[in-house]
Structure 1
Amino acid sequence: MTIDKGPRDDRWYFSIMAPNTKGDKFAWLDPTSIYINGDAFHDLLDDLCAEINPDEVDVVAGLDAMGFVLASGIATRIGCGFLPIRKAGKLCVDTDSAAMTNYSGQTQSMEMRYPAYAPGTRVLLVDQWVETGGTMHGAVQLVEQQGGIVAGMVAVVMEDNENTAEYRKKYKCVTAIQQNTKWQDQANAQYLESFKTYKPEMAFPK
């Protein structure tokens, strides 16, 4: 199937993101179809990295689990290393831990290897989708516990709410879905108009 990209600055790849088909225990949307399609993934990384200054970042941290995909891609593009921030019990080395509440309201612990870097290291935090900000809050705690500096936050989208408003005030936040656009309005409503015409084969690799 040929994808109509439309205007390059219209972030055409949003329209191939998949709606949730499994119920309330899962996120309402799945961006992984962007990663499957080479054109979409590369254009997404182009758009995100265009707003990141590599001279202001020492390491890129990806949040478990889908944040690993974006973070590793960004780290490669800007010439930095990649640091995984994981759910508790996954790392086989000494760790720091921090509690957080995820988008479904469950309290979990996140962990990062200890030590991961020297004090003063500038850490760019990357996640796939920031809904309530709980997971990102846990990541901020971990970075600061080891004396790191949060260099900014990156995501496909940050939904608009009190928590994310505070992030935008305090940190440089880079998102593919930008504020004050139709896509942001739809993300805040947790329903994309493109769902009406979505078909899985739209994202199939060529």
Structure 2
Amino acid sequence: MTDFPATEIPNDKGPRDDRWYLKLMAPNTKGEKFAWLDPTSIYINGAAFHDLLDDLVADLDGVECDVVGGLDAMGFVLGSALAARLGIGFLPIRKAGKLCVDTDAVSFTNYSGRTQDMEMRKPAFAPGTRVLLADQWVETGGTMSGAIELVERQGGTVTAMAAVAIEENDVTEGYRSRYRCVAGVVPGSEWQRQCNAQYLESFVTYTPWMAFPIRRDT
């Protein structure tokens, strides 16, 4: 078996203000129709994923929510993990045509400029339910705005948003003014500047094995 260099993991007793796990994200290697990076390598590495969740839960301190709404598809990963950490339920908000029950539907324009439809089961919750919305990445805000509309149609209240990163633009600034928005990428940080430019300096040294899970028998 080939030996790969291990990812350096910060001491658990020390601070993680550098959000070290962000350097595990992979650049797009497949062309313009895909997102400019792939954060899923954070999920593969146990230490990275748990530190991301620790940071998000800490930044959500004081937020009252009854359910986490995860946006199809990668928001399912982050959203369900956060729901488990917070001890509340998880509501999948899906691309159209996937649910076999009555649904509400909304059209939105995604980051690539394509118009898509998204659905939520009907009814999904009682009026007044407080919802934390989770997605992997918030770029143009089209998907998130669709999810907000679906929640509010059923009398729910969006109390917060969570993501690996929320880029800074007019739409996302509006979100920040109305909701508690938390992300692995902290506003004002160097990571935020690089995300806004849609290029991470860590891409230069990125290699896939940086995210490989640590074998428990080593």
Q: TM-score, normalised by structure 2?
A: 0.92
Q: Deviations over 1:40-70 (max 9, x none)?
A: 0000000001122476010001000000000
User: Which of 35, 39, 45 in structure 2 is aligned with 1:31?
Assistant: 39
Aligned counterpart, 1:49: 57
User: Which of 184, 190, 194 in structure 1 is aligned with 2:202?
Assistant: 194
Separation (CA, whole Å) in 1 of partners of 2:210 and 2:159: 35
CA contact (8 A) 2:69 2:79 kept: yes
**Is 1:130 aligned with 2:134?**
no
Structure 1 segment 1-80 matched on structure 2, within 5 A: 1-5=5-9, 8-53=16-61, 56-80=64-88
Shift of 1:2: 1.8
Identity of aligned residues (%): 68
Output the aligned Cα RMSD: 1.1
Look up the equivalent residue of 1:135 and give its one-letter code: T
Q: Name the SS for the 1:116 alignment partner.
A: coil
Separation (CA, whole Å) in 2 of partners of 1:55 and 1:128: 19
Separation (CA, whole Å) in 2 of partners of 1:44 and 1:132: 23
Task: Identify unmatched segments of 5+ residues in structure 2.
Answer: none
Look up the equivalent residue of 2:7 and give its one-letter code: I
| CA shift in 2, pair 1:54/1:69, >3 Å | farther
Q: Name the SS for the 1:152 alignment partner.
A: strand
Separation (CA, whole Å) in 2 of partners of 1:133 and 1:5: 32
Counting matched residue pairs gives 206
User: Which of 85, 102, 114 in structure 1 is aligned with 2:110?
Assistant: 102
Look up the equivalent residue of 2:23 and give its one-letter code: S
CA contact (8 A) 2:63 2:159 kept: no
Q: Name the SS for the 1:8 alignment partner.
A: coil
Q: Deviations over 1:113-157 (max 9, x none)?
A: 000000000010000000000000000000001000001111111
Q: Deviations over 1:56-100 (max 9, x none)?
A: 010001000000000000000010000000010011110001111
Name the larger-Rg structure: 2
Separation (CA, whole Å) in 1 of partners of 2:157 and 2:47: 33
Shift of 1:4: 2.3
Look up the equivalent residue of 1:136 and give its one-letter code: M
CA contact (8 A) 1:122 1:151 kept: yes
**Is 1:166 aligned with 2:174?**
yes
CA contact (8 A) 2:9 2:47 kept: no
Separation (CA, whole Å) in 2 of partners of 1:81 and 1:11: 27
User: Which of 122, 125, 128 in structure 2 is aligned with 1:114?
Assistant: 122
Task: Identify unmatched segments of 5+ residues in structure 1.
Answer: none
